[in-house]
Amino acid sequence: MANVLVVGEIKDGALKKISKEVTSTGKKIASQLGGQVEVLLIGEGADKFASELSAVGADKVITVNLADFNPEAYANIIAGVAKEKGSSFIILPHTGQGKDYSPRVAVKLGAGIVADVVELKVDGGNVIARKPIYSGKAFANIQINTGVKVFTIRPNSQEVGSTAGAGAIEASSQTAGDVKTKIASTELSGGNKVQLTEASIIVSGGRGLKGPENFPMLQELCDTIGAALGASRAAVDAGWISHSHQVGQTGKTVSPNCYIACGISGSIQHMAGMGSSKYIVAINKDGDAPIFKVATFGVVADLFEVVPAVTKEFKKVLG
């Protein structure tokens, strides 16, 4: 029996969507391997999210009460729980926090690790991880041969299932352990109202916006439809918007359900960061722009006419 340990995330007192995605993925893998999926939640009041996780597959929710995030502490706790439970597979979120502690976990467990996975499947009793390579131009299917296997899952790449688990709750005795560093302070830059890497919808602007004074037009559309505001490197390098909004090879990699590119030509570097979007909508007055080669829907028109009109219609429909 191969048990799967999944690690969820809590932010600002709420369960992050990626927690349900990795739980559903863990349930699928555990079911095919004849095991169970246990979800580890680290944070204050974590037990109150047990019902949400059991609804999407958690057979057991393990909680550890820890006030503040520290990658060393998280790695110690996760590795400790994995050893205690005899977990063969560990599935972690490929988020800012996850990218910090996941390699530490792999080292502590002597495990192989595949990061930024977009699909996990069982083939002949082996778990195969699929991930984008070469800036999204190809995919690699990878099998880990170590006893314990660690995978980090890209946000928005997994479907949230409806197969419920037992949802038992267990308070773990694991502690932060030997931690040699501490976070002295945290500075927030403001950034997006909706986090880019977790957003289901992203509206991005590029050089076609002509200046920083026109990004509020995109922000209004974002506010209307609950989207995150993104940007191309050209817009960021021009100083029109902060780097925290940049999507692309030198920015953030995103996988939203819908990516709306406004005035973005579609360079290889930009498409490396958003090419895995489920639907891509391109608005550009240049009908030969490369973005149209990957777009699900394309609008060859002036974005300064299209975006306000779209925003107005959404306001009518959404009230």
CA–CA separation, 18 and 61 (whole Å):
15
Three-state SS string over 240-293 comes to: CCCHHHEECCCCECCCCCEEEEECCCCCHHHHHHHCCCCEEEEECCCCCCHHHH
Question: Along the 319 residues of the chain, how does pLDDT read in single tens digits?
Answer: 578 999 999 988 889 999 999 999 999 999 999 999 999 999 888 889 989 999 999 999 999 999 889 999 999 999 999 999 999 999 999 999 999 999 999 999 999 999 999 999 999 889 999 999 887 888 999 999 999 999 999 999 999 988 888 878 999 999 999 899 888 877 766 555 678 888 999 999 999 999 999 999 999 999 999 999 999 999 999 999 999 999 998 899 999 999 999 999 999 999 999 988 999 999 999 999 999 999 999 999 999 999 999 999 999 999 7
Domains in the chain, start-ordered, CATH in brackets?
A: 4-171 (3.40.50.620), 196-318 (3.40.50.1220)
Residue 46: closest CA among 8, 95, 77 = 8
Residue found under tokens 């209307």 = 224
| pTM, to two decimals | 0.86
CB 95 within 8 A of CB 18: yes
